[in-house]
Amino acid sequence: MRPFDGRRVLLGVTGGIASYKTVSLARALAQQGALVDVVMTRSARDFVGGLTFEALTGRPVHTELVAEGHALDHIALARQNELIIVAPATADFIARAAAGRADDLLTACLLATDAPVLLAPAMNDRMWAHQQTITNVSRLRSLGYVVVDPASGALASPDEGSGPGRMREPDEILAAAAALLGTGSALGGLRVVVTAGATREPIDPVRFISNHSSGKMGTAVARAALRRGAHVTLIAGAISVPLPDGCDVVRVGTTEELAGAVRSALANADVLVMAAAPADFRPKSVPASKIKKGPTGPGAIDLEPTPDVLASTMDARNANCIVVGFALETDDLLANAESKRTAKKLDLVVANDATEPGAGFGTDTNRVTIIGPDGVTAALPLMTKDAVADAILDRVEGLLSGR
Ligand SMILES: Cc1cc2nc3c(=O)[nH]c(=O)nc-3n(C[C@H](O)[C@H](O)[C@H](O)COP(=O)(O)O)c2cc1C
């Protein structure tokens, strides 16, 4: 599914270094089926050429209210679009927008539109922290503009600070845009709970038993659900990838904590996707102090099974909740996955082989087979985890439409 298929988006670009990232944003919007009208401020043209956006969107780029003696119909331009995104939004642009100015094409479009407006500010961290900017941003928020707060981290110039100021990544802006558009997906407005990453079972206060799960698959599912306009709760154990912006995040340590968090989140969930890799065993007892290193070692550690998250939370699911489980196996993949599906009353099970190159833990790609309610299998080719996430949610949408 392409979330922006046929949707009209006005993409405003203002004069900041982060406009190089807006090139990827324009490309992603166009690739996902949006008709993108790019409006650049004059200053933005000093940073990126209009030709780049024209080539990527296949449409003319606009800057001036009046060009070559003709007035551009900025009212029509503003009204025919279903969403306005301004990325990056400079401090100066934010100030002009907050003051209600209309002295260039982009600010004039803001005044002429009824569409939702999404701003992705980018600036030096001191400019972002200045009271003038804080006042301007809160004024725009009070008018209903959605602002994706900048992230902390290295800014363009090496002598700049590392406080908030850096524009969010195109992926995160896309997720916020999809949520605002309510992309027409059957998941739009639904509550989706996703688990991701590994749980850790303590051996003593400093050591643990765990597995190699990176959280890449679970976070990809969370991002895909956000793009489709769902409200997403991400329950994350140990992960080695950034958390997606725009979802509610619950952090957990042990498998028992994961089961508790899933139980609480299930109360009003429409979809549960269990992409986490819980540790299946834990030490029967955990000493209060660190086990001393010594020539003989600690000896055998007695293990017991951890709670089975799906089985122990089955009674908390509402009857219509669609539940997707993952089966990561090294032997008898499909048989094991199918018995997991029936034993745990899953609607879908996503089976993957941990030993296959390019699939399983830590990779950016996966090769999965999805087993549906009737036991019918669909073997997918090797694809990115983002594409696998979309394939899973396409199946979930299919099930939702049949209910
Ligand atoms: C090299 C350079 C980088 C700049 N980067 C930013 C920036 O990241 N954020 C910002 O708010 N202003 C930045 N500015 C200042 C803006 O370009 C300036 O305020 C301009 O008037 C913004 O115009 P616009 O909002 O119409 O695009 C930068 C200026 C220069 C010369």
pLDDT tens, position by position, 318-332: 889 999 999 987 788
Any ligand 1 atom below 6 A from CB of 43: yes
* Position 1 in a domain: no
Q: Whose C-alpha lies nearest to ligand 1, atom 30? A: 16
> What confidence category does residue 159 fall into, taking pLDDT thresholds of 50, 70 and 90?
low
- State whether 211 and 159 are in the same domain: no
> What single-letter DSSP state applies at residue 283?
E
90, 106, 133, 147: residue to mutate for ligand 1 pocket, most atoms within 8 A of CB: 90
Q: Is 22 in the pocket of ligand 1 (CB under 6 A)?
A: no
Does the beta carbon of 87 sit less than 6 angstroms from any atom of ligand 1? Answer: no
State the pLDDT at residue 160.
Answer: 63
pLDDT at 177 over 80: yes
Residue 332 lies in a domain: yes
Same domain as 200, residue 120: no
Q: Is residue 344 part of a domain?
A: yes
Nearest CA to ligand 1 atom 28: 16
CA–centroid distance, 16 to ligand 1, in Å, is 4
- Together in a domain, 224 and 279: yes
Helix axes 216-227, 170-181, angle to 10 degrees: 40
- Which residues form the catalytic set? 211
Q: Are residues 123 and 218 in the same domain?
A: no
What is the domain extent for residue 70?
Answer: 8-181
Confirm if 223 and 386 have CB atoms less than 8 A apart: yes
C-alpha 74 to ligand 1 mean position (Å): 24
CB contact at 8 A, 321 and 248: no
Q: How far apart are CA 398 and CA 12, in angstroms?
A: 35
Count of C-beta atoms within a 10 Å radius of residue 188: 16
Rounded-to-integer distance, Cα 318 and Cα 229, Å:
21
3-state secondary structure of 337: helix
Residue 2 inside a domain? The answer is no
Give CA–CA dist 344/340, Å, rounded. 6
- Pairwise CA distance, residues 303 & 306, whole Å: 9
Task: Kindly state the average pLDDT of the residues 291-298.
Answer: 84
Domain end among 156, 181, 206: 181
Give 172's pLDDT tier (boundaries 50, 70, 90). Answer: confident
Q: Which ligand 1 atom is nearest residue 127's CA? A: 11
Q: Is the CB of 122 under 6 A from ligand 1?
A: yes
Cα 242 to ligand 1 centre (Å): 28
Number of Cβ within 10 Å of residue 314's Cβ equals 13
Instruction: Kindly state whether residue 153 falls inside one of the protein's structural domains.
Output: yes
Ligand 1 site-directed mutation target among 13, 22, 39, 43, most atoms within 8 Å of CB:
43
Name the strand (E) or helix (H) holding 220. helix 216-227
pLDDT over 90 at 389, yes or no: yes
Tokens representing 4?
């922006």
- Angle at which helix 91-98 crosses helix 131-142, to 10 degrees, equals 50
The model's pLDDT over 85-111, given as tens digits with 9 standing for 90+, comes to 999 999 999 999 999 999 999 999 999
Mean pLDDT across 361-369: 83
Cis amide linkage into residue 88, ω under 30° from 0: yes
Instruction: Give the residue among 140, 89, 83 at the shortest CA–CA distance from 113.
Output: 83
Q: Which amino acid is at 347?
A: D
Tell me, using a 6 A CB cutoff, whether residue 13 lines ligand 1: no
Question: Which ligand 1 atom is at minimum distance from the Cα of 15?
Answer: 27
207 with 173, same domain: the answer is no
Ligand 1 centre distance from Cα of residue 15 (Å): 5
Domain count, the chain: 2
Residue where a domain stops, chosen among 157, 181, 205: 181
Same domain, 392 and 298: yes
- Assess if residue 186 is contained within a domain: no
Q: How far is the CA of 69 from the centre of ligand 1 (A)?
A: 28
Is the C-beta atom of 41 inside 6 A of ligand 1? yes
What the block records as the tokens of 155 is: 């800014």
CA of 149 to the centre of ligand 1 (A): 17
Q: What is the CATH number of the domain that holds 99?
A: 3.40.50.1950
Positive or negative: CA dihedral 125, 126, 129, 132: negative
DSSP state of 185: -
CA-nearest residue, atom 19 of ligand 1? 92
Angle, CA of 188, 38 and 56, to the nearest 5°:
85
CA 332 to chain centre: 33
Candidates 219, 208, 223, 229; CA nearest to 290 is: 208
Please tell me the distance between residue 70's alpha carbon and the centre of ligand 1 in angstroms: 28
Q: Is the pTM of this model over 0.75?
A: no
Task: Look at 293 and 37; give whichever has higher pLDDT.
Answer: 37
Ligand 1 contact, 128 CB (< 6 A) = no
Is beta strand 383-384 parallel, antiparallel or unpaired with respect to 365-366? antiparallel
Q: What percent of the chain has pLDDT over 90?
A: 60
Q: Whose CA is nearest to atom 31 of ligand 1?
A: 16
From 181, 215, 245, the end of a domain falls on 181
Q: Is the CB of 121 under 6 A from ligand 1?
A: no
Tell me, in angstroms, the distance from the centre of ligand 1 to residue 276's CA: 42
Highest mean pLDDT among 74-83, 100-109, 147-156: 100-109
Locate the ligand 1 atom nearest the alpha carbon of residue 94 and give its number.
25
- State whether 351 and 231 are in the same domain: yes
Domain-located, residue 65: yes
Pairing of strands 322-329, 271-274: parallel
Over range 227-254, report the average pLDDT: 92
Is 170 a pocket residue for ligand 1 (Cβ < 6 Å)? no
Report the share of the chain in percent with pLDDT over 70.
96
- Are 186 and 395 a contacting pair, CB within 8 Å? no
From residue 177, give the alpha-carbon distance in Å to each of 84, 148, 169, 218.
9, 10, 12, 21
Q: How far is it, in rounded angstroms, from Cα 360 to Cα 354? A: 5
